[in-house]
Structures are given as structure tokens and as C-alpha cells.
Amino acid sequence: MLGMSLHFTGNLSGARVELEAALQHGPGSQRTSATYLGFNGHILAAAYLARTMWLQGRFAQAVERAHQTVKAATPTDHPITQCIALVWAILVLFGTGDIQSVEQYLDWLISIARSHSLGPYVALAGGFRGQLAICRGNANDGVESLQTCLEELHAARYEILTTALHISLVQGLAALGRFDQGIALIDETIRLVEANEDNVYMPELLRARGSALLSKSQHNRDDAEQCFAQSLELSRHQGARAWELRTATDLAALWAARGQPDRALALLQPVFMQFDEGLDTVDLKAAKQLLATLS
């Protein structure tokens, strides 16, 4: 539980220490194999560790841990534990761009959640379906699914992933040209994060705000650049290399479009060089492609 709290506040290194310590007490021990408060603590720790690894830029390790956690949860015959493992694995796989595995786990999540009437997980699955639709270019259906999901989660007071879903919804709204609505949602979400200290998402929220401003009008370039700069600073403070990579790519693209390719290269190349695994993931491919145009 301490590791989870540190994860959400943005202390990723501290979270990883605590989550790995929790896993030292193996699932075969009497203390951790039991299910308390509705979930298996060992599976919960492993699921959050996978997401923490992804945020730290350990993409290959995160994917391996996510798959291992789903596999470990399968024989537990405990549907909530299985749903937890699947939800956090889906988040990791969305982050790496492995859409095929996302769809496989999502079908599994829907089956378990519906058959056991687990309302919040049914709603989450609908939200992930919406995110998947946006990834595939169907923003209309994606936005509708995410809005329905968020209404159901708010009604159930299940808010643990609503910030992440808001970011996906903003991306869908931007794809539909509904920039003002998306920016308003981002601003409201930032206010909620500041109040609740769900700081782990703040770098990505700032990046999403900058992207929305830039998509709305090139006249917003200065404001977008400021958002990107704030996102970079915070992601580096958290050690969130996944967020840092995305923001550095967006900011480098902005500088390149302004006729500053050398400045863009000087920013993005050192960030890209930090990564020594998961080079086939979607964000690293995008950064590599941009670097090829700058050098």
C-alpha cells in the first residue's frame, strides 16, 4: 500500500523499492497468498510494479512483469484479483503500443467483469474499448465510450484511473477538432490532481494540454512550449522517462517546425539515448523517426 501511494504521488523510485520489497514475501507464504480487503496483495504489488517500471522507461521489463502478473493471477480463482492484473497490464501495453495484446486482455477483462457483475471493471473495460477505438482512428465511438465509462465510474466513486481516462478522452476530442472542450477538461483535471496529489499524471497532463493548444492554433505555440517545458521539468523530477520521452519528442517537433533543428536535436537525442530496451515500442519509434529528420 505504501508503494501504491508513492506511485500515485510521483515518487517512482520510492514506489519501486516498496513494491519490490513486498514481492520478496512470495505468493507461497501464508501471509501474502491470502486475499485481504478484496484483493491479493502480491498480485496488486506486481501489477503496480509493472506500471512503475513502464513510467521509469523500463519498457521491456514492464511488459514482462505485466504478462507474468496476469499469468500468476489466472489460477487464483479470484475475479477481482484477475481484473486488477488485467487492468494494469492493459495500461502498460497501451503505453508500449502493443494493441494486439491489449485487445486480447481486454476481451478477457470484459468476460470476467461481466460474469461476476463487477460494475467498475465493466465500466473500465468500456473506457479501454474507447481508447482502443481512438487508437484505430474511430474517435467518435471512442469519445462516446469514454464519456459513458467516466459517468459510471464517477457514480460508483471509483476514481483511481479517471485521470488516465481523461487524458485519453482529450486525445479523442482533439481528433474530432473539439479543442476547447478538451482543453477545459485538461484544466479541470489538473485542478483535481493538484487537490488530490495524484501527481504521477501531471507531466502527461501538461503535455496533452500543450498538444491540444498547438492543434487548435499555431498562434498558441508559446503557450504550448511553456506546457512542454513544465512537463519536461516535472517528468525529470519524478524520474518518469516515459513521460519525458513523449514531451521531448513533441517539443523537438515544435522547435523543428520553427526552423530550429539543431536545438531540437540537442533536446531529443540525449533523452532517446537513455533507453536501452523496448526500442520497438511506439514512443521510441516516433522519437527515432523524428531524430532521423533532424540529423
pLDDT in tens, 109-143: 999 999 999 999 999 999 999 999 999 999 999 99
The three grid cell numbers given for residue 178, joined into one nine-digit string: 473539439
DSSP structure class, residue 35 = E
Asked if residue 231 has pLDDT above 80, the reply is yes
pLDDT in tens, 88-117: 999 999 999 999 999 999 999 999 999 999
The three grid cell numbers given for residue 127, joined into one nine-digit string: 473506457
Question: Would you say 275 and 59 are in contact if contact means Cβ atoms under 8 Å apart?
Answer: yes
Query: What sign results for the dihedral spanned by CA atoms 282, 68, 46, 115?
Result: positive
The three grid cell numbers given for residue 118, joined into one nine-digit string: 463487477
Render 48-61 in DSSP notation, one character per residue: HHHHHHHHTT-HHH
CA 208-213-215 angle, to 5 degrees, is 95
Asked if residue 28 has pLDDT above 80, the reply is no
In order of start, what are the domains of the chain with their CATH numbers? 2-246 (1.25.40.10)
Percent of the chain whose pLDDT exceeds 70: 95
What's the rounded Cα separation, in Å, for the pair 134 and 142? 5
Structure confidence at residue 198 (pLDDT): 86
What's the rounded Cα separation, in Å, for the pair 153 and 81? 19
What's the rounded Cα separation, in Å, for the pair 62 and 44? 14
pLDDT in tens, 139-198: 999 999 999 999 999 999 999 999 999 999 999 999 999 999 999 999 999 999 999 888
What's the rounded Cα separation, in Å, for the pair 20 and 181? 40
Question: Would you say 53 and 12 are in contact if contact means Cβ atoms under 8 Å apart?
Answer: no
DSSP structure class, residue 25 = S
Quick one: pLDDT band at residue 217, thresholds 50, 70, 90?
Answer: confident
| Average pLDDT across the chain, whole number | 93
Structure confidence at residue 31 (pLDDT): 42
